[in-house]
Amino acid sequence: MLLENKKHIHFIGIGGSGMFPLAQILHGKGYYLTGSDNNETDTLQMVREMGIPVTLGQKAENIEGADLIVHTAAIMDDNPELIAARASGVPTIERSVLLGEISAWYPAAICVSGTHGKTTTSSMTTQILLDAGLDPTCVIGGKLPAIHGGGRIGKSGTMVCEACEFVDTFLKLHPDIAVILNIDADHLDYFKTMENLIASFHKFASMATRAVIANGDDQNTLKALKDLDRRIITFGYASINDYYPANIEHVDGVTISFDLCRDSEILTPIRLHVPGDHNILNAIAACIAAHEAGARWEQCAKGLDAFHGAQRRFEVLGKFGGITVADDYGHHPTEITATLTAAKKLPFKRVWAVHQPFTYSRTAMLLDDFAKALSIADRVVLSEIMGSREKNTWNIYAKDLAEKIPGCVWFPEFPEIAGYVVEHAEPGDLIITLGCGDVNKCAHMMVEMLSKKYGG
């Protein structure tokens, strides 16, 4: 047991979206925590408000006194704090190992996997269980307003967490209910082939002890389910699935209504307040998972009616002089396509896509797909690529992507991007930032500039 006899746990990169929820849970369990990070963020302020000491800047001395050290996957091997941790003799683990350990504590661990939609579906499932009074523990990669963060400790045996396939981290989990939303080409710098990626999802599904909830419309998902000796529950648009939607209606620019059906029977009407048809399938997966954990169908509908999105998932930040600013986590061509397609259906004059490419390998390997997805927008502005854990051995730059998108411009720094967009945006436009790095900072710069320009 990793946590047995551990009292002081140190988090390297405690402000990360995957680290903060784990810190919330362990802090609530009574462990003494410390942490460090390189960048000042709103999340770090929340960490401090919990009474957890945080050091800005990663230095060898930060680990002093810890008897377990946890780090994010984004921490490079040459990080001085990580080097010191590994040399100290203190157990040092990547955050996915800790998440796996925590998931084993719960007899009903709902682990939500898929290339796209994990955070939204985990958030929806959590919202339903909360509103149903089922008191779940959760680890979500974004911030859910209902819990004021991405993590909480419940008193029930149910846990909801995201199960990310990156470098096979989801194979460290202990799923009772495994959800597979979709399988798309991503992280191929690690998996090399789609066959390897699908095989990993098969391994993940085989770890489920109670059920696998899977997208029956997705061919790659169906391949992952082949010869799987587990109870399988399918969902999708097609009525051959166990669960499917009927009578879909777009009530307004954002609200979608539909009936959740099983075997030609309407189980409950659903109202969604998040845009995009892809969220219909996310909602159905959430309903099935929550129902498996004890929620009634009408409670599923009530929870979804109360759900207005997770932070950084088509999150509207404000409207100034008729210009709307939103922020979205989409960082894969399929996600960007879904978000921009949904945006184009809304009553805006023009849609601006401000995108920060994330990792050199993904940008290089999916360059044409990114160009096609971003071209859905009316205007496209790029930042330089955020390398994160990678070095640019691919010799790829934002200009290479910009050249493939008609009318696209790019700037190396956020202030330049924000200034350009604010100068050229017009009333009736939507500006949406896209990316899983720190492009949300650019969104907030534009909010501040527009607020000064128009008031608000």
Could you read off the pLDDT of 254-284 as tens digits, one per residue? 789 999 999 999 999 999 998 888 899 999 9
Q: Which tokens hold the place of 341?
A: 């397609």
Q: Give the model's pLDDT for residue 166.
A: 83
Q: CA angle 198-201-205, nearest 5°?
A: 140
Q: Give the model's pLDDT for residue 254.
A: 75
Could you read off the pLDDT of 142-172 as tens digits, one per residue? 788 888 878 899 999 999 999 999 889 999 9
CB 137 within 8 A of CB 126: no
CB 250 within 8 A of CB 256: yes
* Average pLDDT along the chain: 93
Could you read off the pLDDT of 391-402 as tens digits, one per residue? 899 999 999 999
Q: Give the model's pLDDT for residue 83.
A: 97
In this prediction the pTM is: 0.81
Burial grade of 300 (CB within 10 A; 0-12, 13-18, 19 or more): buried
Q: Give the model's pLDDT for residue 104.
A: 95
Could you read off the pLDDT of 177-189 as tens digits, one per residue? 999 999 998 878 8
Residue type, 343: A
Q: Is the pLDDT of residue 91 over 80?
A: yes
CB 82 within 8 A of CB 140: no
Tokens 């699908």, located at residue:
198
Kindly give the interhelix angle for 95-103 and 20-28, rounded to the nearest 10 degrees: 50
Kindly give the interhelix angle for 367-374 and 333-345, rounded to the nearest 10 degrees: 10
